[in-house]
Structure 1
């Protein structure tokens, strides 16, 4: 008999990272940035099932109110609510913010939702650098989304590597089977990773190479690409190499580079799938797009987006996502309220 395949979930997930340079959203339209205008890379040009937005340098000037979302989250909610998205979760650490929105129909298939944070900058005291994350059981699989802001400036490569390892070591969750970031079946990591170009090319030379669209040559100098190859950091993750211009550093209000800094691909999105963790179940995350949004000129960074097809399929077996959740997260970990993860003691 031929093998039969059944699909437990086939989702389109849209990821966005943007260093907003302490600016508020004010009257900024998010339609183009969120691809709500019919331009998505999702199959059949449909809207994404899930949005995950990571931001850095969100303004912390206002008095922090634990009962009210950041203005950026409210702005995103306003843009997405008319398309029947609901906020699943948000987490903020000083200027680092991650938030997730999903179409209403997916909410019953989201469980064990948890967040965590790791402070790195200034010895971890202030939290101006570090990471926030959201993890959940998504149609029975363990998924985690990490947003980080690593140490800045060309000379701080060692600190960026240390930041990464600190985040990986310190992020912990209480859900059975998934205590750490890389225990998850799906890992998505986005943010202002602040990696620069190695070597001595001047800002002007880099800009000239960018104008000639010599991205492949410049990416041979990209610190993140080099680190992943040597295994020093981010080597467990994959990245589709950018085919867009470096996203930092621009003069605010336009598309001209500010050559006080050497242009670099600071803003990145990476992922990892443990494809064959379970018998007869196949997990995949095909990347459908990787773009910068050049029409957004609010800050000295450009927003970067990526679209993924998140698939869970079975061979010769028929599972519900509830049954898959039992297999992956263990019996007894289902939460009655998907928005309140019951914490188990973590040993």
Structure 2
């Protein structure tokens, strides 16, 4: 049996609750693994970056003619390495943005974004999710960034937020109307899940200092929910092998025990492996880590890298042929260049943003 590779990409995902801080003079080289320390095969730079942020300052929300300062800062770091911004979407303080190496742009189609508000009954959008979906080398792929209800006693609300996002996130492309219709799903964010039980913050910190993460993860709400099927059960997660990423005293690596430490910041994924005859899809996770060097907010940034791979068995497919197989004639999202897309949406973006505000 002969096997041909349609796509073999390294995708870098990052989630960070920045606590309304601006990037200012923050150096992002280490955060984005641009310093020669990537986890991609052969230590190459990622093909695609998808960055999700929470509690971004909303001062730029109504300015449709200018990207958020965080997007501009990311662009400053990535553009010299031949990355182009593909798409950004912001719902109040929740932001997702995608950058790709220029050579991959012809293999990205049907690019679309969506949002779901959950906080305060959905009236303001301080909690919820934003997403970017696209045909990536012929497969339906979606990236979701969410910020769920906070505090130890709001588990029920977090579960409700998740289901509201899954139910209300709807795209325009036939066959890919919902998040879990997609062949690849990547979900990240400040999911705000805490540790069940009454273990004190002091005891949690002491256990963390002993690096006995397994004992604490037995109490992790997200892990328990996935096991019971109440939320996130369709997704997989590599076991975190890093300290809880919340809550730190800003500017330090010292826990602020006003809140019990917890793994609030997570990255999960799902692949429908054998959806198509003679096509094999995979997303092998290469890393999952926090970055303790960044002390801007009370959360630590969390990143993951994936080897996104599409293989054809018993034949040779181009990604155009795979796109026809997966998306067929159902495509309704215009395929325009990234630069043209920005210009096309400026006028419409004014009205979209106006109605979101009211």
Shift of 1:64: 2.3
> Would the aligned equivalents of 1:193 and 1:266 in 2 still touch at CA under 8 Å?
yes
2:154 aligns to what? 156
Q: Secondary structure at the match of 2:143?
A: strand
The equivalent of 1:72 in structure 2 is: 70
1:284-295 alignment, distance < 5 Å: 284-295=282-293
Match of 1:324 among 317, 322, 331: 322
Structure 2: gaps spanning 5 or more residues: 345-358
Q: Does 1:23 align with 2:21?
A: yes
Aligned to 2:203: 205
Show structure 1 runs of 4+ deviating over 4 A.
338-342
SS class of match (2:59): coil
2:168 maps to what in 1?
Answer: 170
2:323 alignment partner, SS class: helix
Residues 5-84 of structure 1 correspond to what in structure 2 (within 5 A)? 5-62=3-60, 64-84=62-82
Compared CA separation, residues 22 and 261, structure 1 to 2 (3 A)? same
Normalising by structure 1, report the TM-score: 0.96
Alignment correspondent of 1:345: none
Structure 1 regions of 5+ residues with no counterpart? 343-347
> Structure 2 residue aligned with 1:250, among 233, 236, 248?
248
Q: Deviations over 1:191-233 (max 9, x none)?
A: 0000000000000000000000010000000000000000000
Asked if 1 retains the 8 angstrom alpha-carbon contact of 2:110 and 2:335, the reply is: no
Counterpart CA distance in 2 for 1:168 and 1:320 is 32
Task: Please say if residues 33 and 293 of structure 1, whose CA atoms lie closer than 8 Å, have aligned partners that are also in contact.
Answer: yes
Matches within 5 A, 1:228-247: 228-247=226-245
* More deviation, 129-138/328-337: 328-337
Matches for 1:251-266 after TM superposition, within 5 Å: 251-266=249-264
Task: Write the distance in 2 (CA, Å) between the matches of 1:114 and 1:268.
Answer: 23
Tell me, yes or no, if the aligned pair for 2:60 and 2:67 is still in contact at 8 Å: no
- Which of 108, 111, 114 in structure 1 is aligned with 2:112? 114
User: Which protein is richer in helix relative to its size?
Assistant: 2
Matched residue, 1:128? 126
Structure 2 CA distance, aligned partners of 1:275 and 1:338? 30
In 1: Cα distance, 2:154 partner to 2:69 partner: 31
Which residue in the other structure is 1:306 paired with? 304
Aligned position for 2:336: 337
User: Offset of 1:280 from its aligned partner?
Assistant: 0.6
Displacement of 1:177: 1.1
Alpha-carbon distance in structure 2 between the residues aligned to 1:332 and 1:247? 42
Contact 2:13 2:49 (8 Å CA) reproduced: yes
Please tell me the root mean square deviation across aligned C-alpha atoms, in Å.
1.3
Kindly tell me the number of residue pairs found equivalent between the two proteins.
Answer: 340
Contact 1:176/1:330 (<8 A) preserved: no
The equivalent residue for 2:354 is none
Normalising by structure 2, we get a TM-score of: 0.93
Match of 1:222 in 2: 220
**Could you report, residue by residue, the CA deviation over 1:269-307 in whole angstroms, capped at 9, with x for unpaired residues?**
000000000001000000000000000000000000000
Deviation at 1:317, TM superposition (A): 1.3
Q: Out of 332-341 and 287-296, give the one that drifted further.
A: 332-341
Alpha-carbon deviation of 1:338? 4.7
